[in-house]
Amino acid sequence: MIRQLFLFLQQTDIEKKMEEAPDSSYEIGVVIGSYLPFVVLVGIAYAIYHYNRKKRGN
C-alpha cells in the first residue's frame, strides 16, 4: 500500500517535469534520475541477500 502511494506521488512529479522539459534529452535525464536510485537500492539489497545466502550455506 505504501509502495503504491509512493509510486503514485512519484509519477505525478515526473509528469510535471516532463511537461516543463525544454527538450527530449532533458526528459531522458529526468527518467534516468528518477529510477536510478531504486535500481541501485535493489542492487544493494540483492548483493546483501546473495552474501547472506552464501554465508549461510557454508
Query: What tens digit of pLDDT does each residue of 11-56 get?
Result: 656 777 777 778 778 778 877 887 888 899 999 999 999 999 988 8
Q: Cα(46)–Cα(29) distance, rounded to whole angstroms?
A: 25
Distance of CA 4 to the CA centre of its chain: 13
Calculate the alpha carbon distances from 4 to 1, 7, 11, 54 in Å: 5, 5, 10, 32
How confident is the model at residue 40, as a pLDDT? Answer: 93
**How many CB atoms lie under 10 A from the CB of residue 31?**
13
What pTM was computed for the model?
0.56
Question: How confident is residue 5, by pLDDT bands cut at 50, 70 and 90?
Answer: low
Residue 8 half-sphere exposure, CB side, CA atoms within 13 Å? 5
